């Protein structure tokens, strides 16, 4: 078995797989080590919204980074399909970000100031989505905040990376990493591997490596619970979004209702209380949703940093260790931009200075 690589990536979620894709495409010999299966954790739980506008809380850093990532998806859809045969199911329609009062409309003013966003009053929203609650006063319509299937997208990245020569090791947890001379030794349950560079990209579990690498940082889980329901006739064409909750239409009349925000809960199962609150919230957006049949429910752990921005960049004292983790609510959206930024840092290409500063792990 080959045991020496240029780059070892720890974690086979959307972030690790996107990094592997962009590195392998540059002919860099990369291996991904995944504790269970590709796309099995937070990535599998995600709704897949590319919410560059609807999730934007910072116009200076988050927006340009997220927007460039979002725009990349429009071209990645065909590129990844051709390489891997996997359809990421980029679904157009966009998001209606609902407002129930003038105060909530005012809160949308920053979003409404962004290019391509427009205000629809209640009648205009209901002309396009006639099942939406009559209690809204209107909504910001965000056409570009489309969605993808997160699990398929992660598989598409990993299979495409393999087409370019990447190795993917599933059921291979990394137990420890250690530097000897100029090379990192990566200890796993399947033996020891070597790499010149290591990227820590194992989601909320990255904290264990921070400590091994002499850093005091931590990531905390913010559990999100979701329910999927189905109807014979599609009930929605657009995603509805209000106060961090949403109803996302998928194919075949399926709707994904998400998601709770439970801090510091490491359990990956949904609770009855969580699902009850989701159903109550969904009814306020789409009253007839209660007639639909439940397909499944699940939960995942969002990896949150102290300031809710990801850690993307070098270890403060060693450029052969990089971090790509802590993507919180937006790992699916930010995967292409993160993969490209890590690639550029490894091959020493120019990266925007404000992104380096904003995302470096030692920013405090």
Residues that bind ligand GLY (CB under 6 A): 47, 49, 51, 55, 224, 258-259, 302, 329-330
Stretch that binds ligand FAD, among 67-75, 76-84, 325-333, 356-364 (CB under 6 A): 325-333
Which of ligand GLY, ligand FAD, none does 48 bind, CB closer than 5 to 8 A by kind? ligand FAD
Q: How far is CA 298 from CA 44, 166, 243, 273, 281, in A?
A: 9, 31, 20, 13, 17
Rg (CA), the chain: 21
Which of ligand FAD, ligand GLY, none does 11 bind, CB closer than 5 to 8 A by kind? ligand FAD
Which of ligand GLY, ligand FAD, none does 270 bind, CB closer than 5 to 8 A by kind? none
Contact 62, 54 (CB under 8 A): no
Residue nearest to ligand GLY (CB): 329
- Min. distance of Cβ 185 from ligand GLY in angstroms? 35
Residue 300: closest CA among 44, 17, 49, 51: 44
- Min. distance of Cβ 50 from ligand GLY in angstroms? 10
Contact 246, 259 (CB under 8 A): yes
- Min. distance of Cβ 330 from ligand GLY in angstroms? 6
Residue 285: closest CA among 130, 102, 122, 132: 132
In SS3 terms, 185-216 reads as: EEEECCEEEEEEEEEECCHHHHHHHHHHCCCC
- Near ligand FAD by CB under 6 A: residue from 35, 72, 129, 144: 35
Residue 93 near ligand FAD by CB under 6 A:
no
Residue 202 near ligand FAD by CB under 6 A:
yes
Which of ligand GLY, ligand FAD, none does 198 bind, CB closer than 5 to 8 A by kind? none
Distance CA 15, CA 11 (A): 8
Ranges of H-type helices in 130-285: 150-163, 207-212, 272-285
Provide the binding-site residues for ligand FAD, judged by CB under 6 A. 10-16, 33-36, 40-43, 45-49, 173-174, 201-203, 205, 224, 226, 258-259, 300, 302-303, 325, 327-333
């Amino acid at each position: 078995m080959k045991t020496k690589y240029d780059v070892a990536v720890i974690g086979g979620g959307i972030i690790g797989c996107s990094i592997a894709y962009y590195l392998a495409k540059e002919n860099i010999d990369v291996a991904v080590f995944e504790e269970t299966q590709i796309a099995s954790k937070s990535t599998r739980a995600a709704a897949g919204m590319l919410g560059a506008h609807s999730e934007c809380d910072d116009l200076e850093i988050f927006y340009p980074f997220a927007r460039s990532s979002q725009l990349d998806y429009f071209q990645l859809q065909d590129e990844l399909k051709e390489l891997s045969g996997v359809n990421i199911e980029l679904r157009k329609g966009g998001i209606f970000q609902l407002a129930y009062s003038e105060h909530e409309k005012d809160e949308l003013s920053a979003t409404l100031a962004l290019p391509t966003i427009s205000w629809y009053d209640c009648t205009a929203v209901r002309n396009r989505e006639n099942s939406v609650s009559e209690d809204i006063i209107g909504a910001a319509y965000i056409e570009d905040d489309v969605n993808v299937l997160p699990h398929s997208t992660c598989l598409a990245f990993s299979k495409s990376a393999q087409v370019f020569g990447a190795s993917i090791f599933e059921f291979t947890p990394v137990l420890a990493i250690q530097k000897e001379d100029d090379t990192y030794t990566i200890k796993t349950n399947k033996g020891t591997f070597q790499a010149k560079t290591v990227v820590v990209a194992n989601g909320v579990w990255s904290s264990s490596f921070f400590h091994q690498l002499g850093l005091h940082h931590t990531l905390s889980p913010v559990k999100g619970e979701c329910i999927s329901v189905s109807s014979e006739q599609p009930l929605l064409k657009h995603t509805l979004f209000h106060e961090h909750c949403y109803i996302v239409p998928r194919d075949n009349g399926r709707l994904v209702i998400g998601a709770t925000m439970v801090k510091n809960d490491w359990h990956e199962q949904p609770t009855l209380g969580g699902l009850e609150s989701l159903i109550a919230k969904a009814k306020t957006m789409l009253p007839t949703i209660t007639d639909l049949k439940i397909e499944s429910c699940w939960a995942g752990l969002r990896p949150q940093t102290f300031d809710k921005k990801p850690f993307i960049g070098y270890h403060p004292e060693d450029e052969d260790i990089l971090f790509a983790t802590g993507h919180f609510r937006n790992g699916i959206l930010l995967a292409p931009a993160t993969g490209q930024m890590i690639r550029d840092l490894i091959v020493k290409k120019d990266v925007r200075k404000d992104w380096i500063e904003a995302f470096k792990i030692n920013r405090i």
